[in-house]
Structure 1
Amino acid sequence: MSSLNSIRGILDAWTGTVAGSVVAGLERMVSPRVVRLVETETGTFALDAAKVENVPKEIAFEDGKFIADLAQIVRGSRVEIVLRPARFLFRSLELPARAADFLDGIVRAQIDRLTPWSASEAVFGCSAPVAHGSESITTVIAAAPRRLATGYVEAVSGFHPTAIAVATEAPEGGRIKVFEQKSRGAIDPVRLSRTLQAVLALAAVTAVVGSVAAGYLADSLSAQEGELERQIAQRRAALRGSDGGERSPLALLERRKYETPSSVIVLESLSRLLPDHTYVTELHLAGNKVQIAGITRDAPSLIPLIEQSQHFTRATFSAPTTRNPSDPGERFHIEAQIEPRNAP
């Protein structure tokens, strides 16, 4: 079960990264107007937006509503709500350098250990990682209760923006985004990540089905091929049986008798060729080849002796010659071609 959870976590992190990259690329191509509401120390919000008319620069927030008509400037815009750092809990986290590509997934998996809230009860984000040498990175995590962010998001959602983001200022500087909500017409990284996972699952199922179908077709074709070979063999046997002379079964057997090497003749020839200081420990006959292994005082001299025989040709060493301290000579492995000479 733990391995399945690990694989699911890696898949979530990978698809989340891909989805975030796609959404970021699309947003750079078509970037909406940004309206920024920055919370001041008095609890009001400073409005930062281009071409603002008939809207106060500072807006109060009371009873879950912004005390100003923001419909004209918020509609179709991206709204960024920057809350005071005092509303957030900050934690520093040190990770291996290779974890930089999966930072969001790692933080989500450890948020309940770093903060009093679980991932479903909190809004959280992390700063850009700072490298410490080549082995580790450090990031700052900002977290707050989810109800804190949703109150401001619901107050702005009625004005129909394209996206709403909640962020705060990190103690070391820089801004940390802890929440983002897209409108129905915008691309949501979470939905895109789930779509990617569904596509990958569909591709895996298709691959499995294709593999099973290919195996079934291969077995069926193999069976048909075997049946055809059997029928061809039967037809050839029938043709050989019907022929006379040299193609008759008796003639073929007679020819095979004289063309197949005789193990007795091979053994007798080797016993005559090899010198007295040579001991054969292994002998293998495979078709028209003979393989011998043993111990001798002078391994290179065996090749010419075997080549001089009328029963053998193309004698070569099939393995390196070795010598052990306990052996009386060199260990050799020789392979030669047999010239059948079984005629009387």
Structure 2
Amino acid sequence: MLKLDSHIELDYARFFRWWGGELAAILPAPLRASLWPQRARLLLSRRGEQVQVSLSDDNGERPLGLFPLDESAAREREKLYETTPHLDEAELCLRLGQGQSLLRTFKLPAAASENLRQVMAFEMDRLTPFKADQVYYSIQLIERLPDTRQIRVELALTPRAKLDPSLDELASAGWRPERVIADGARANHDLLPEAFRRPRSRLPQRVNIAAAALFALLLLATLALPAWLNYTLEQQLRQEVRQVTKISKEVEDIKAEAEKLAHENGFLLRKKSEEPATLEMLDELSRLIPDQTWLNGLQYRDRKVVIQGQSPAASSLISQIEASPYFKNTNFVSPVTKDVASGQERFQIASEVLGRRASEQAIPPQ
């Protein structure tokens, strides 16, 4: 039964691509080549410390040789363009191998096609081993599946940590790719970061037929004034943004300098407040140790004090020292022994010394 209330999805871009392809197919090959010339591609492939250069055109792909990326790179590159002048018109592309890129084909809900790139950013860590901020990626719609209300897409990606150094090294050698493609991916994929893209020309494309030329001129005349006003406004806004950015940077520098000075000025005060008061610690020990107890040695290092001596009852010293707010974790370092000559117990006790601030809070003023 015919359902007149069914929703029909029209892909206008796909229709016009098909229609244009059918029209181009009936034209003679020389005329089609003059109206829609295919731009050749100069393909770069990394081979260790060298780059493999190949030319891809209507005659297929053929290698042009290996070129270094050292001091002689610019000279070798200029020599290549001098010997083959038609390479100036070729599109320079960096081709990534299987170990440098990742290709995946999967299905998504049809609603994802409205904002496909944003949806892919949220699903990146689930569908790939990477997060969205770790890679450069390109996603293309391959097919719509109305029966399951899904779409089939192809994802091409490469890690930022690998592509950025490679592009910098190529740029230093004079190679500045216009496009980054993954080996085996569809032609529409481009992984070139925005930072490495060249500013595109605002000039209209070549007029193919007389009617198209007339339409382009009329459209240009109609939109010239708004376009110029928008361009002027854009330049003015860019200038204002640059000024605000400069002022913001100066403010951040002043703030950082003030924080640095404050940190340096407060270093001694913090150091003094964090370190235990040695005189107070010694005074506290002299108050805690009974008169019948004798000290033979005292060591203090890294907030830890070790005392050695003799006492009639060495075990009672642990509780007395531990009860003080100046000390904690008090224990015997070695077993208590009996001195035969004096009849007293030999001991060696270690304890951690609290900071001065903690001791001042613990001891009320008298």
Q: TM-score, normalised by structure 2?
A: 0.33
Q: Which has the higher contact order (CA 8 A, sep 6+)?
A: 1
Greater Cα radius of gyration, structure 1 or 2: 1
Q: TM-score, normalised by structure 1?
A: 0.35
